[in-house]
């Protein structure tokens, strides 16, 4: 019986693996390259691609070695690795098993990433105060990603599953390669012209080159200028882009972005049912308390004898009515007495009587004034007559009656011979006329005494 010439895939792969393992040049290799597609598993194993401008190879560093590293490997970093080359039989691929890793400068993408990140950070583009809050119950969710692929399927499936009330608006967008930046910016601007409540911007996983459009400044500024809150969902959890820093919220994956964008219908139903049970329990307790209270009231003494419940009030009303009537009569009586007293006081203060009394007083004062005036007039009359008699006694006419005359010279009375000269003409005024005379001699008494 001839031997089967065909080998199984596993046998052939195992043979190749032995060849790799037997090669002494592959047992301890030193290789330099740029990290790409870095994925840190929850177990601590690090899976990545090591590449340069012309080639790439898959690589892995197990958690026992990864724990000793002093830095966190990220896509775009250039590293120095020591390890060995072997074949992973399950996939039939050779790969680098890293024993140690240390950074060796940075790659072009990493440098561009850090420079743009620093620039936008200084401008405050990443500031928390610019972040918008997501609506709790969005009515319309816009999705900006490639029209085909796992990302858009995961987002739409998750949105419909969690919150079918939300309307999904897809903006088919080129998210990789030439023209991706402009396509992403245009989609964000178009979505902002709609009434969407939240935007999901992202794509599935890939190399740093595949995701690079989300590290471009134009995309970052479009996200920053959006008036609608944006959730970034670019690549896997280990992939970090500039869009993640600018966006209002970062999701680890597109599926996670959909979960962050809308509430869970099941959780809402559970919450509603829970609230319903709480309300039902509260209402039941409240009704039971009210029923107990009603029973107590129905069995209470006042409710058993309702007429006795309002009897005291009737008595109080009747007593109040009697008191009101008595008080009314008393008040009317007091008011009548008061009115009478005031009328009397008013009569006593009648101005007509006061006027008549004033007229009588005025008449008495008038009589007294007339009497006083008459007395004064008589006194003044007697005084005048006495003065006339005195004047009459002293009047020069009376003296002239006894034969005296008054001489005048040039109209003036001559009182001394010193006023006269010989030949002067004098006028002599007698009691019954006037005569003219001429001075012929002057005899002065002073001369005689001399």
pLDDT band of 2, cuts 50, 70, 90: low
- The yes-or-no verdict on residue 1 having pLDDT over 50 is no
Rounded to an integer, the average pLDDT of 289-312 is: 80
Rounded to an integer, the average pLDDT of 361-369 is: 93
Rounded to an integer, the average pLDDT of 88-107 is: 84
Q: In angstroms, how far is CA 204 from the centroid of its own chain?
A: 45
pLDDT in tens, 263-286: 998 888 999 999 999 999 999 999
Higher pLDDT, 106 or 391: 391
User: How large is the angle between the packed helices 265-299 and 150-162, nearest 10 degrees?
Assistant: 10
pLDDT at 4: 73
pLDDT at 314: 83
Please report, for the chain, how many H helices and E strands are present, in that order.
16, 14
- The yes-or-no verdict on residue 248 having pLDDT over 80 is yes
- The yes-or-no verdict on residue 373 having pLDDT over 90 is yes
Higher pLDDT, 196 or 210: 196
Burial of residue 378, with CB atoms counted within 10 A of its CB: 0-12 exposed, 13-18 middle, 19 or more buried: exposed
pLDDT at 70: 66
Contact 28, 84 (CB under 8 A): yes
Q: How are the residues of the chain apportioned to helix, strand and coil, as percentages rounded to the nearest 5?
A: 55, 20, 25
pLDDT in tens, 105-131: 556 677 778 889 999 999 999 999 999
- The yes-or-no verdict on residue 102 having pLDDT over 50 is yes
pLDDT at 449: 52
pTM over 0.75: no
Determine if residue 411 is left, alpha or beta; phi over 0 gives left, psi from -120 to 50 gives alpha, anything else beta.
left
Distance CA 385, CA 326 (A): 88
- The yes-or-no verdict on residue 132 having pLDDT over 90 is yes
DSSP three-state, residue 436: strand
Give, in order, the Cα–Cα distances in Å from 93 to each of 13, 24, 33, 87.
9, 19, 19, 6
State the CB neighbour count (10 A cutoff) for residue 212: 20
State the CB neighbour count (10 A cutoff) for residue 277: 10
**Pairing label, strands 412-413, 425-430:** unpaired
Rounded to an integer, the average pLDDT of 76-91 is: 90
15 Cβ contact partners less than 8 Å away, ≥ 6 residues apart: 7
């Amino acid at each position: 019986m001839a031997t089967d010439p065909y080998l199984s895939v596993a046998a052939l792969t195992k043979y190749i693996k032995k060849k790799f393992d037997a090669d002494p040049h592959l047992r301890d290799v030193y290789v330099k390259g740029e990290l790409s597609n870095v994925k840190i598993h929850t177990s601590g194993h690090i899976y990545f691609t090591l590449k340069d401008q012309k080639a790439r190879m898959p690589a892995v560093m197990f958690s026992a070695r990864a724990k000793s590293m002093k830095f966190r490997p990220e896509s775009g970093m250039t590293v120095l690795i020591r390890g060995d080359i072997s074949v992973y039989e399950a996939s039939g691929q050779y790969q680098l098993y890293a024993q140690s890793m240390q950074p060796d400068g940075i790659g072009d993408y990493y440098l561009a990433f850090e420079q743009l990140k620093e620039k936008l950070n200084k401008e405050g583009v990443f500031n928390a105060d610019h972040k918008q809050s997501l609506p709790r119950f969005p009515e319309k969710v816009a999705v900006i990603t490639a029209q085909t692929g796992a990302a858009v399927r995961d987002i739409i499936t998750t949105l419909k599953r969690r919150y079918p009330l939300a309307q999904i608006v897809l903006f088919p967008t080129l998210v990789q390669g030439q023209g991706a930046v402009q396509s992403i910016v245009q989609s964000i601007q178009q979505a902002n012209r709609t009434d969407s409540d939240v935007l999901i911007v992202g794509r599935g996983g890939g190399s740093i080159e595949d995701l690079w459009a989300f590290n471009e400044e134009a995309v970052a500024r479009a996200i920053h200028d959006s008036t609608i809150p944006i959730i970034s969902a670019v690549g896997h959890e280990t992939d970090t882009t500039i869009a993640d820093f600018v966006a209002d919220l970062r999701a680890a994956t597109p599926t996670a972005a959909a979960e962050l964008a809308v509430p869970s219908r099941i959780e809402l139903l559970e919450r509603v049912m829970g609230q319903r049970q709480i309300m039902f329990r509260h209402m039941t307790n409240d009704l039971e308390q009210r029923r107990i209270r009603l029973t107590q009231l129905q069995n209470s003494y006042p409710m058993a004898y309702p007429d006795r419940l309002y009897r005291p009030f009737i008595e109080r009303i009747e007593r109040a009515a009697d008191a009101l009537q008595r008080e009314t009569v008393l008040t009317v009586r007091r008011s009548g007495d008061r009115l009478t007293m005031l009328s009397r006081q008013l009569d006593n203060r009648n101005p007509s009587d006061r006027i008549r009394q004033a007229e009588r007083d005025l008449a008495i004062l008038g009589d007294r004034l007339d009497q006083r005036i008459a007395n004064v007039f008589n006194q003044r009359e007697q005084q005048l007559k006495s003065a006339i008699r005195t004047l009459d006694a002293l009047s020069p006419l009376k003296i002239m009656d006894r034969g005296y005359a008054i001489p005048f010279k040039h109209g003036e009375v001559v009182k001394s011979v010193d006023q006269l000269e010989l030949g002067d003409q004098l006028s002599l005024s007698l009691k019954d006329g006037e005569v003219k005379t001429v001075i012929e001699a002057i005899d002065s008494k002073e001369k005689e005494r001399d």
